[in-house]
Structure 1
C-alpha cells in the first residue's frame, strides 16, 4: 500500500468513526474496532514515513 493510499484509508476510517460516534457511545465495540484499525493504519503510515525520511539522509 502506498503512502497516498494509506492517507486515503486513514481519512475514510476517521470519517466513519466520527459519524458512528455521533450515535453510539465511545466504548461501543464497533467504535473500538474502527479505532483499533485506524491505529494500525497510522502505525504503518508512521513507519513508512520514517523509512522514507531515513533514506533521504
Structure 2
C-alpha cells in the first residue's frame, strides 16, 4: 500500500510541475504523508526531475 501512495505522489507532482507554488504545496503534503524512506526516494527523484525544470529548484528546501 505505501508504494501506491509514493507513486501517486510522483504522479501528482508531475502534473502540477507547471506552477512552482502549487508544486511546493503538493510537496509539503507529500512529506507529511510519506514514510521516512519514501521521502529519501522522493528526494532522489526530485533531484533528477528538476534538472529539466530549474524553476522548481527552490522547492527542494521543503524536503531538506
Superposition TM-score, scaled by structure 2 size: 0.45
The structure with more radius of gyration = 1
